Amino acid sequence: MSSYRDLLRTPGVARIIAAQLTARFPFGMLSLAFLLHIEQVTGSYGAAGLVLAATSIGQAIAGPLTSRWMGVWGIRKVLLLTLAVCAVSVTTIALVTMTVPAYMAVGFVAGLSTPPVQPAVRTIYPKLVTSQQLTPLFSLDASAQEIIWVLGPVVTTFVSTQVGTVWGIALAAVIMVVGCLWFISSPEVGRVRIPRSRRKLGQVLKRPPVLLATVVGFLLIGACSAVEAGVVATFGHDGLEAGIVLAIFSVGSLAGGLALGHTPIGPYALARRIFIVFAGLAVASLFLNAWWLSVTLFVAGIGIAPALAVLFAIVSASVKFSDTAEAYGWVGTGQLIGAAMGSAAAGFLIDGSGAVGAFWVAGVFALFGFVIPWIGHRWHPDLRGRDASPIPDTEPINTQPS
């Protein structure tokens, strides 16, 4: 814990962590808020899953593009533009009653314009701390972001059930605007200039660790999205049980991230951490009551933040600084496609088999999330005794006399 205290005393670190967490907080609210609102309007979890899938697909397409634009136009300009469009789209879903295809279209635009705060802050971090502090910073960040998933579902469930689903979405939109403006105005954002990448879009995926992180992120977040849908379907709209169980799921992740943040990252680190997630989810569907799900999802959560920290670290250590934003964009795209697939599959199985179907989906995603990095461990950088700093950008130097 002392190393975390030292990190937070580093100039700018506490401020940028707080600002980016606030900016990203609405995205711990919007999936559940959209799910509750669209299901209430249409009466179908399948329809709600389709809207969530459309939103996530929009985010997936935008991830690498908007991240790469930050190297062309600058971080602040890209964030301001995307924030304006996203805020309008989210508000439209809350205030305008539409058909399911129309909801999907507006959700797609909202996803397409999601401010790329996460790729931006992952790219800024190596410029704030020493190389030895970078891996602990990724762990701290992965743990701290669980605050989003602890408080977000609770706040959304309370506001949506006690006040109204429209107000649940509207509150998320307000927090998004305030948080993004705080992050954009932070001095650290203005001081970092992302170099323009010389590679074609998508070339960074030829780096095996980036591809591994993208695929595993897809599976991990797909499992989490299915769990979220399953918990909401289990407890319905009449109480706070859904929000509380999801919060406990995230508390497990927070605890795991802080406890395992200093564990050396070897070639099997990712597989071992995701096995914890699979173990918890494998037994979660046996009894769909609040106590059982709280215990099993807490256990599953212990592996999530540590796994995400490994994903961030192996990407950072494997690409040039000019490619880091795009690389994190692709990793985010993988996670968002996973969220789309997990939500959609869970929604249809809930309609067909009941809430337990969502937990079956989550277990399958987590199983593949464990198997793939175990088989592909040779693609996983061994960071034991190494730092996770990006590869420096270099240019040819003319040594011929002029």
What's the mean per-residue pLDDT of the chain? 85
Q: How far is CA 77 from CA 98, 108, 116, 122, in A?
A: 32, 22, 11, 18
How far is Cα 144 from Cα 305, in angstroms, rounded to an integer?
A: 9
| pLDDT value of residue 1 | 59
Q: Is the pLDDT assigned to residue 271 strictly greater than 60?
A: yes
Q: At what angle do helices 117-124 and 321-353 cross, to 10 degrees?
A: 140
Selected residue with higher pLDDT from 184 and 381: 184
CATH superfamily of 12-379: MFS general substrate transporter like domains (1.20.1250.20)
353 pLDDT band (50/70/90 cuts)?
confident
The mean pLDDT value for 244-248 works out to 84
Q: Is the pLDDT assigned to residue 126 strictly greater than 70?
A: yes
3-state per-residue secondary structure call for 3-56? HHHHHHHCCCHHHHHHHHHHHHHHHHCHHHHHHHHHHHHHCCHHHHHHHHHHHH
| pLDDT value of residue 313 | 87
Q: Is the pLDDT assigned to residue 397 strictly greater than 70?
A: no
Q: What percent of the chain has pLDDT over 70?
A: 94
Q: What is the tens place of the pLDDT at every residue in 62-99? A: 888 888 888 888 889 999 999 999 999 999 999 998 99
Q: Is the pLDDT assigned to residue 355 strictly greater than 50?
A: yes
Q: Is the pLDDT assigned to residue 109 strictly greater than 90?
A: yes
Q: What is the tens place of the pLDDT at every residue in 274-325? A: 999 999 999 998 989 999 999 999 999 999 988 988 998 898 888 887 788 8
